[in-house]
Structure 1
């Protein structure tokens, strides 16, 4: 009996990991939102957020998790932004250090700017946990469009992220 239960859990775990690694979230289409929230980390995320702004799919953007050493002028120079564009449309968030604090920082910004819909930009392997964390703290009724940046994650990255997601789901079920 115990072996059957253990085998069932092992199969569920393995199928879950297979699903997680094979069916990574995709980029969003040309959906307009009130804003873009970009979570810093692996490459391509900020570029994707700026692409959305330039395409007119959102009028403003929060970059959450910016290193405290990065100055707005350096950011503008690196991404070829005018100072006016940076002032009007892009907020650099320096308060978060992990996915949970990204969600809190984004929520504070969303509330302060009365945003009803947001495009969440992060890596494909990170999207599920980032969206889950944001959903836990975001205002009721917020529409979140998941816009995953395609990557080629290693088995190790997928393995770690799958376990982080499982841990977050267990925490959510237990109300922690």
Structure 2
């Protein structure tokens, strides 16, 4: 039995609603995400047990080291550091004496992705019984960083400390937004990572 023409047309028009609603949700989510990409840290920063820096852009390492040097945390991890970088180089770039930071700073060399950062930071935080953690990364990267860290550190208070807040390019924001959606659906688990040492 065939459907009347009017029913077929009504059904076809309803089928177009699904992609239209999905597109509106994605665009609305992107607009919200773009607003978050200009987030700024709370000032003055409250002390936390630790500071975690996710490398990959300017201002991140310097900000984390300054927070440690100013007594805003007891411990610092810089996750995703190049295997050839050492604390002395990083401290010199930040304009700080490495001796004052050495005993309280860990350089994580294992992570090669945001998911890897989450695992590396969790391993470090659990070994120090950290209950509160200030997270330093670019503002546009913060939502995905917090998502991955919440998966690995469910009982730890995470306080965002965004840097690089001056409006990144639209193409970069779009790529990061798509990565965030992928991470929400667990697709970040598909990229292999070295285990933390």
Fold shared per TM-score above 0.5: yes
Q: 1:42 to 1:151 in 2, by over 3 A?
A: farther
For 1:168 and 1:142, locate their aligned partners in 2 and report how far apart those are by CA, in whole Å: 20
CA contact (8 A) 2:131 2:156 kept: yes
The answer to whether 1:141 aligns with 2:117 is no
Which consecutive segments of 4 or more residues in structure 1 shift more than 4 A?
A: none
Return the match for 1:4 from 10, 17, 36.
17
C-alpha contact (below 8 Å) 2:52/2:78 kept by paired residues: yes
The CA distance in 1 between the partners of 2:88 and 2:35, in whole Å, is 40
| 2:36 aligned residue | 23
Q: In 2, are the aligned partners of 1:40 and 1:63 still within 8 Å (CA)?
A: yes
TM value normalised by structure 2: 0.81
Render the CA deviation track for 1:64-122: whole Å, top value 9, x for unaligned.
01000112332333333334223222111111111000010000000111111100000
Instruction: Return the alpha-carbon distance in structure 2 between the equivalents of residues 82 and 127 of structure 1.
Output: 28
- Post-superposition Cα deviations, 1:34-67, rounded to whole Å, max 9, x if no partner, equal 0100010110111211221233211221000100
What's the RMSD between the two structures over aligned residues?
1.8
Q: 5+ unaligned residues in a row in structure 1: which ranges?
A: none
Match of 1:49 in 2: 64
Q: Post-superposition shift, 1:171?
A: 2.0
Partner of 1:68: 83
Query: Counterparts of 2:98 and 2:21 in 1: how far apart (Å)?
Result: 57
Task: Using structure 1 for the length normalisation, give the TM-score.
Answer: 0.91
Q: Report the 3-state secondary structure (helix = DSSP H, G, I; strand = E; otherwise coil) of the residue aligned with 2:52.
A: strand
Please give the residue correspondences for 1:124-163 in structure 2 after superposition, counting only pairs within 5 Å. 124-138=139-153, 140-149=154-163, 150-163=165-178
| Cα separation, 2, equivalents of 1:53 and 1:99 | 22
Secondary structure (helix, strand or coil) at the match of 1:146 reads strand
Report which stretch shifted further, 99-108 or 146-155: 146-155
**Deviates most, 9-18 or 53-62:** 53-62
Q: Within 2, Cα distance between the matches of 1:121 and 1:27?
A: 9
